[in-house]
Chain A
């Protein structure tokens, strides 16, 4: 192992950690060492056991076997409270903040004040602001969390951990919600913390984050450690191979295709979000047959609402949606499907699937009442089963059987069920929203190949994603969305990451980019 320190014990040591969930082994004899003042990447695909391992260190799970040492001393955590008492703080992928409370209230939540049982906001405010200043975490302590952008909420989470005396920070996929520029700022904050002597575990599956920021990297695959390396000693290709366990096949070739007639036309769409605030402020774009149009943008700039309007799940307050030339403005989802829409929704389990129902049933969610799946209002179980077998085979879905409930499948296989269902209806326009979120590399590649295959099959694809890499790799044209407006449309052949990144932050005023599609 490439440990730095020989004299003092390392900050944290995990020895031979094993954790089962039912028959699934999440961690299998994992060793992990975190030195003082280092940023240590925990790299692996979804399901490799990264988050489980760190949840064990944070006291959320107890390991089946193995030992945890903090500063050389064996500890046993039954709850995060005990981990926090040992100077360990964790920022989860989904923030654990109370939206209705202010930053200050969130930071001090559950802490004892000097004058129990009375709160002493004055004292707390001073100390929280001191902490924020000393680590360059610019944040208004009196703002309500619900009104803050996610990037700032993340700072609040870190502030919360630091204020509770954390010397070791665990960050779970922290950059997923940030623009490229925000990522840079965020990395500066982390570097500052490292200089101040903090140790940081960065859970990630993004290779460039490892090489750009980290000192060391531990790679997990299938619950086992496959390597511990100095970050300046490895290439991204080596890391990718360690992570996946084999060389990655090249993703699907892009054929040259001349786009055909428009299959999705949107004109001047405006709509409100769930809180009745303006979410879309006049969006116009068109998708033609045989092209992929990518919508790039930071999460929460109107992407969800745009997808919902197109799919008939949200009524626009102005504008028009046409699918295959048919007016689908404010139409029911049924009419949108009938007009030729396929829809891979953002929230797999929440919207795309009925988790308790079987794979077979989920595969006929829209078509269950049509021939051959039903006659005279009675389901034809044989036809549904036969369809399921065919789709399981065609999309190589790994499910125990067609009767397996979809919530027991892995994320990748759940997404394949949705892909199978949506593509089997032969749509003319496929609306794909965050189609690879949370998927491992192989599954994500499968999704990408299917989208490219659809493009080659003369289907139009509207790809809405916050993964800029995905947008850049797949799209023919890139439309950037910011605060409910399309701030520009770029040809993907000439678009640069930096340019798109600036536009995502609303900082591009180049008039030529504003040309409407």
Chain B
């Protein structure tokens, strides 16, 4: 077309962020409205239900803490997915990386008896990161070296990780009682310290905050982040400019895996103090949604992680108060995703053409 008129300046960063947040807000409201219909169908009062949902999530110090505890691993894993997706590396393997990070962490934690905290804690954090990073790196190497689709390999690695953990918690690492599929508690010195007792808030939140700041620097300010964005936006241009695409993927696959591994580690060292058979419970998949809803931007991922954690935590109290099942909240979460997607779909040409057909001329 012709030259862009001078008035058509691209929106500034701030207005771009507010647009994204606005989109998310609209999607949440729309999803809640649909959920209200479902609650009505179930014969309950949606207003009472949503008040209970909100109070359950933000009504007391304890509930706010619960939201933060739930948000911490989602945020860690979500940040890793954000940098991977931004680089055009479709890591679907956060779930498996969480498991492997948790396994590595518990192995260190079980052997840390008698270690001082200043050794045991860095060791367990490092083990969590490394466990996830190694698990993330293998598909990364396969992608960079032989072009194997990371979408397939990371999904497959989820299964492997799940069954490896399953083997360990029922076999070599099973608790002394050999009753439940879980390990013995880790050494006290390796636990992430509780802050704000008697709530469950633990030091993992500082790890997540530090990771957010670090990822912000990496993705927005660093030269590596610049290259990663170029690779993700236009692989051919990256190669042309002398950026090593394979190396970039290798690094992000490791970093993304490591962050997911940290998510598994905080569940072990901060929440349960041991490794359960199903320690992740699908967090690695929820984190994908969190990363995408957060527009693959570190700040956005924080917002999305808290939103999803709040919906989770509030769901229990909604169930208690109006007697609708918790699963309704999963429907609302899914609807939020659909409405965010619908917004871009509604901007699609096909819908515009259909819309025009029905519009009176």
Contacts and interface: CB of A to CB of B under 8 A. Distances in A.
Interface residues of B, number: 31
Contacts of B239: 313, 333
Interface in A159-208: none
A337 B234 contact: no
Contact of B10 (A332, A352, A398, A408): A408
A26 B236 contact: no
A281 interface: no
Contact of B7 (A23, A345, A354): A23
Nearest to B236: A351
A399 interface: yes
A23 B224 contact: no
B232 to A, nearest CB: 9
A23 B233 CA distance: 26
Interface stretch (A104-112, A320-328, A355-363): A355-363
A404 B10 contact: yes
Interface in B214-240: 217, 221-224, 226-227, 229-230, 233-234, 236-240
B146 interface: no
A343 interface: yes
B226 A379 contact: yes
B4 A401 contact: no
Contacts of B7: 23
A368 B10 contact: no
B8 to A, nearest CB: 6
Contacts, number: 109
B6 A378 contact: no
B205 to A, nearest CB: 26
B1 A401 contact: no
Interface residues of A, number: 52
Nearest to A368: B226
A399 B240 contact: no
A350 B234 contact: yes
A357 B9 contact: no
A386 interface: no
A314 to B, nearest CB: 10
Interface string B1-43: 1111111111010000000000000000000000000000000
Which of B5, B221, B226, B238 has the most C-beta atoms of chain A within 10 angstroms of its own C-beta? B226
A62 B359 CA distance: 15
A377 interface: yes
Given A357-B229, A399-B4, A400-B4, A377 B223 contact: yes
A374 B223 contact: yes
A413 interface: yes
Nearest to A404: B10
A311 interface: yes
A460 to B, nearest CB: 20
Contacts of A21: 1
Contacts of A87: none
Given A350-B236, A354-B230, A408-B8, A333 B241 contact: yes
A379 B221 contact: yes
B221 A378 contact: yes
A235 interface: no
A378 B223 contact: yes
A26 B217 contact: no
Interface in A272-327: 311-313
A316 B56 CA distance: 65
Contacts of A47: 1-2
A356 B239 CA distance: 17
Given A333-B240, A337-B242, A404-B10, A369 B223 contact: yes
A347 interface: yes
Nearest to A440: B2
A398 B9 CA distance: 11
Nearest to B226: A368
Nearest to B230: A354
A410 B2 contact: yes
Which of B1, B12, B238 has the most C-beta atoms of chain A within 10 angstroms of its own C-beta? B1
Given A357-B230, A377-B222, A365 B3 contact: no
Nearest to A358: B10
Contact of A400 (B8, B238, B241): B8
B265 to A, nearest CB: 26
Nearest to A411: B1
A242 to B, nearest CB: 17
B223 A379 contact: yes
A508 B111 CA distance: 81
Given A354-B230, A400-B6, 16 more contacts: A24-B1, A24-B2, A24-B5, A313-B239, A345-B240, A350-B236, A351-B240, A356-B233, A356-B234, A357-B229, A366-B241, A369-B223, A379-B226, A403-B10, A408-B8, A409-B4
13 contacts: A24-B2, A336-B242, A354-B238, A355-B234, A366-B241, A377-B223, A377-B224, A378-B222, A379-B222, A398-B3, A400-B10, A410-B4, A413-B3
Q: Which 9 A-B pairs have the closest CB atoms?
A: A334-B242, A400-B9, A333-B242, A365-B241, A369-B223, A354-B234, A351-B236, A47-B2, A354-B233
